[in-house]
Chains A and B, each alone.
Chain A
Amino acid sequence: MRKTSLLFLSIALFLSGCASDGEVVAQDLWVKSSEMSIKGGMTAVYGTLTNNSSQDVVLVGGATEIAGVVEVHEMAMIGGEMKMQEIDGGLTIPAGKSIVLEPGGNHLMLMMLTDDLEAGEEISVTFDFDGAEDMTVNGVVAKPAEGGDEDYHSGEMDN
């Protein structure tokens, strides 16, 4: 699953939250730290993925040491309410284009967290693609954040 080349790792270490293997480039990645990001809970990874290749790439899933389940999610209007759901067949990044993973929009959902994720922690995230090499990014920082009207959003955040 994880295909971390030494070259890639060294780049990722220099540019925490940013990574490039030539085909897909990740920029400004972050993971949400909230009252939900506790052991057994959930959170999500956000940022920009750019497909520099000449063919479409599909984000089909991912992996990280802190989550039992990783899925590609979208926010959709379901029964009059914005809810998140897994995207059937993954999220396409058209050739030469970028997609933005953001609160209230598409995101890489992390569920069944294996530990509390606290503000300022760094995690590694692997993105699984169809049509490109999988990509691991180190140093994805946990930002205290709310917002995006996601349906698990609630009240005050504390650590």
Chain B
Amino acid sequence: MVSRRGFLASGAAAAAAGAVGAVAGASAAGVAAEQNLETFAANREAQFFGPHQSGIELDIQAVTNMVALDIKDSVTKEDMLRWMRLLTDDISRLTRGEPVLADPAPELAIGAARFTAYVGFGPSLFAKLGLDSQLPEGFAELPAFSVDQLEDRYSGGDVLIHIAADDPVVLAHGTRGLVRDSMPFASVRWVQPGFAHSPGMIPAGLTHRNLMGQVDGTANPELGSEDFNSVVWIDEGPKWIRGGTLMVFRRIAMQLDTWDQLGTPSKEEVIGRKLSNGAPLTGTNESDVPDLGARHPNGLLVIPEFAHIRRAAPVESAERIFRRPFSYDNGMNERGSMDVGLLWTAYQRDISRQYLPIQRRLEKLDLLNKWTVPIGSAVFAIPGGVQGSELIAEPLFS
């Protein structure tokens, strides 16, 4: 993994090299390198075919659209299969940076830009189609939490299409194609756009920052690791969910006006981490394991009882999740208060054993609750990936 310090140092070296290059005059190689740099995002391609749907075990992209749909009353399993046939082909083409079949605007397919989309299904879909026997273990609607102020317009849904890319135009074009092919089968329930850093802002593997300023996603299982497999990817149960995962979605509004009234030390105590680099208050690097028992000379806990990372820390070893939160920015009111927050997503094999115990602790005591309010919520079961001519979720609807 590249350290932040190493990244900054290499950036400085590159800037210095650039200055030397300018003095020496632009070489052909320099021009080519610059052109490559200008279009590097367009040429980066995610992998569509494989054991898992793409867009989960992947460094977070720049922009996203989460689209939830409700199926039409007449829709059957056979109709779902036809819908999945269209989506599977569309996503595979868009992932390669190509237009979909019948694309009315093929000229907008200007690059792959790490386009990904995956499809998931809410508990309501299983009920509507009589597929209760296919429900994965540990998958059900979340219970109501005392901290919730949920709104229908941000919650629920029969089907989720979660789309992301490193370019907003690529995202919009891909979204249009996937939604167009969904309209014979469903209507849009909600769409929630979000974003993270642009390509080139942070090295791969580094945790990005949310709009409260915190590095968000520390202690995630590492992409590509055995640990990731054991936390996220399901390998038993109904055939369609093998290679898949269960997702919790929470739209979490941030109260930035009151948050900004806190000083840095207070903000750090709320989380239990340093704002500068995400290190626990008991350590120096983001990757340091928090020492939850450490005390100040005066006897007070360094990471307070109410701190977010103490409350979120696993009590049982199974209580781990993979978080991949995008930010949202939905404008501001006349007083300049920003309507911002997180499209918070967590992936796990079993919601009841992994996410729920953590959320129950946070619900009871987490000082962060004062500045963060869940206003949307949904759960989706994400089928496994496809190979060759397979369709997404084919075993579920066949």
| Residues of A bordering B, CB below 8 Å | 13-14, 16-17, 28, 30, 32-33, 46, 103, 118-122, 141, 143-145, 147, 157-159
Using known A-B contacts A14-B389, A141-B86, determine if residue A118 contacts B184 with beta carbons closer than 8 Å: yes
A contact residues around B104 at 8 Å (CB): 145, 147
Cβ of B37 within 8 Å of any chain A Cβ, yes or no, is no
Closest B residue to A17 by beta carbon equals B101
Cβ of B83 within 8 Å of any chain A Cβ, yes or no, is yes
Q: Quick check: B389 and A144 within 8 Å, CB to CB?
A: no
Q: List 20 A-B contacts (CB under 8 A).
A: A16-B389, A17-B101, A32-B102, A46-B102, A119-B83, A119-B86, A120-B82, A120-B84, A120-B86, A120-B181, A120-B184, A122-B85, A141-B85, A141-B89, A143-B102, A144-B102, A144-B183, A157-B183, A158-B184, A159-B184
Q: Within the assembled complex, what's the spacing in Å between the Cα atoms of A119 and B185?
A: 9
A contact residues around B102 at 8 Å (CB): 30, 32, 46, 103, 143-145
Of B85, B89, B184, B389, most A-chain CB atoms within 10 Å: B184
Cβ of B81 within 8 Å of any chain A Cβ, yes or no, is yes
Closest A residue to B104 by beta carbon equals A147
Using known A-B contacts A14-B389, A30-B101, A30-B102, determine if residue A144 contacts B180 with beta carbons closer than 8 Å: yes
For the side of the interface on B, what is the size category?
10 to 19
Of B83, B86, B101, most A-chain CB atoms within 10 Å: B101
What are the nearest 10 A-B pairs in CB distance?
A120-B82, A159-B184, A143-B102, A119-B184, A145-B102, A30-B101, A120-B85, A120-B86, A144-B184, A147-B104
B contact residues around A13 at 8 Å (CB): 389
Q: Quick check: A33 and B85 within 8 Å, CB to CB?
A: no
Q: Which of A14, A30, A119 meets B82, CB within 8 Å?
A: A119
Q: Which of B81, B101, B180 meets A28, CB within 8 Å?
A: B101
Q: Within the assembled complex, what's the spacing in Å between the Cα atoms of A13 and B102?
A: 21
In the complex, what's the smallest C-beta–C-beta distance from A105 to chain B, in angstroms?
Answer: 13
In the complex, what's the smallest C-beta–C-beta distance from A13 to chain B, in angstroms?
Answer: 8
Q: Quick check: A144 and B101 within 8 Å, CB to CB?
A: no
Q: Which of B173-197 contact A (CB under 8 A)?
A: 180-181, 183-185
Using known A-B contacts A16-B389, A28-B101, A30-B101, determine if residue A144 contacts B82 with beta carbons closer than 8 Å: no
Q: Within the assembled complex, what's the spacing in Å between the Cα atoms of A155 and B176?
A: 18
Q: Quick check: B82 and A121 within 8 Å, CB to CB?
A: yes
Q: Within the assembled complex, what's the spacing in Å between the Cα atoms of A149 and B345?
A: 42
Q: Which of B86-104 contact A (CB under 8 A)?
A: 86, 89, 101-102, 104
Q: Within the assembled complex, what's the spacing in Å between the Cα atoms of A144 and B101?
A: 10
Q: Within the assembled complex, what's the spacing in Å between the Cα atoms of A13 and B389?
A: 9
Q: Quick check: A120 and B101 within 8 Å, CB to CB?
A: no
A contact residues around B101 at 8 Å (CB): 17, 28, 30, 141, 143
Using known A-B contacts A16-B389, A17-B101, A28-B101, determine if residue A144 contacts B85 with beta carbons closer than 8 Å: no
In the complex, what's the smallest C-beta–C-beta distance from B102 to chain A, in angstroms?
Answer: 4
In the complex, what's the smallest C-beta–C-beta distance from B372 to chain A, in angstroms?
Answer: 40
B contact residues around A144 at 8 Å (CB): 86, 102, 180-181, 183-184
Q: Within the assembled complex, what's the spacing in Å between the Cα atoms of A144 and B179?
A: 11
Q: Within the assembled complex, what's the spacing in Å between the Cα atoms of A144 and B181?
A: 6
Q: Within the assembled complex, what's the spacing in Å between the Cα atoms of A144 and B185?
A: 11
Seed contacts A157-B183, A158-B184; 14 additional CB < 8 Å A-B pairs: A16-B389, A17-B101, A28-B101, A46-B102, A119-B83, A119-B181, A119-B184, A120-B85, A120-B184, A141-B101, A143-B181, A144-B183, A157-B184, A159-B185
B contact residues around A46 at 8 Å (CB): 102
A contact residues around B81 at 8 Å (CB): 120
B contact residues around A32 at 8 Å (CB): 102
Q: Within the assembled complex, what's the spacing in Å between the Cα atoms of A143 and B85?
A: 10
In the complex, what's the smallest C-beta–C-beta distance from B42 to chain A, in angstroms?
Answer: 22
A contact residues around B83 at 8 Å (CB): 119-120
Q: Within the assembled complex, what's the spacing in Å between the Cα atoms of A6 and B212?
A: 63
A contact residues around B84 at 8 Å (CB): 120
B contact residues around A122 at 8 Å (CB): 85
Q: Which of B102-126 contact A (CB under 8 A)?
A: 102, 104
A contact residues around B79 at 8 Å (CB): 118, 120, 159
Digit string of B48-85 for contact with A (CB within 8 Å is 1, else 0)? 00000000000000000000000010000001011111
Of B82, B104, B389, most A-chain CB atoms within 10 Å: B82
Closest A residue to B180 by beta carbon equals A144
A contact residues around B185 at 8 Å (CB): 119, 159
Of A17, A30, A33, A119, most B-chain CB atoms within 10 Å: A119
Q: Quick check: A143 and B82 within 8 Å, CB to CB?
A: no
